[in-house]
Amino acid sequence: MHSGKAKLAGVLGWPVSHSRSPLLHGHWLRRHDIDGAYMPLPVRPEDFTEAVRALVKLGFRGANVTIPHKVAAFALCDEVDATARRAGAVNTLVFEEGRIRGSNTDGFGFVESVREQAQGWSAQDGPVVVLGAGGAARAIAAALLDAGCPRLTLVNRSRARAEALAAALGGPITVADAPPLADAALLVNTTSLGMQGQPPLSIDLAPLPATAVVADAVYVPLETPLLAAARARGLRAVDGLGMLLHQARPGFAAWFGVMPQVDAQLRAIIAADIPKTAA
């Protein structure tokens, strides 16, 4: 039961019914016996600013932000941290004394997920190849560079978009028309290819070193054709579910006062809600 002092948070999106965040945060609230609630908050784009300011007045601790609001959230914040500036978008809002603070935990979630699923991996292991140049690519590339990745190559259908992203991020980052896999320590797919309803990603993994890690930001289905191909070659494969689970941890800690952990039970609960293989 919730008391009149319940800590409140939620997820802002349009639509938001597909979000697994309420299931995820609900699990942690029960596990830690916290007097709190986390709810889906469907908000149309034209109502976003008004809705967020209303949440502040209602005493919410904060909220997650999902499609299509991540860029609007960035503009609305009173302050944004380095992760949000690097990502160019906000996915986590924290309300304190009437002020709105924004951060982006997607990059944190990705790096933590690879560490968890590919034991012994470090961003400093060697070159990284990132497929795509959208919001997820930006957050992931920024986090990998900040974690000490020695060289990162962006490969995207629109080369101009990849070059703009490389220029925005700076550091040891280059753009290529074909993925340089021969010395890659990590290959990351941030495109929608391989997602349910999308064509599979067409890439030959043969040039990758036997020690390489292959990661997919897609988590519907859990086992994309890319990850199946990586496992078939004996490579370490990292699914997109880990990123979803780990990116939620900093927000939960800020709103509810406990840094939660990702464990097998949580993974099983969320995985049960996701198709296993491509339809």
Catalytic site residues?
70
Give the helix/strand (H/E) hosting 62: strand 62-65
Take residue 82 and report the two structure tokens written for it. Answer: 């380095």
- Dihedral (CA of 117, 9, 66, 222) sign: positive
Assigned token pair, 257: 């006062």
Report the candidate in 78, 20, 8, 81 with the shortest Cα–Cα distance to residue 49.
78
DSSP 78-144: SEE-HHHHHHTS-SEEEEETTEEEEE--HHHHHHHHHHHHSTT--GGGS-EEEE--SHHHHHHHHHH
User: How are the residues of the chain apportioned to helix, strand and coil, as percentages rounded to the nearest 5?
Assistant: 40, 20, 45
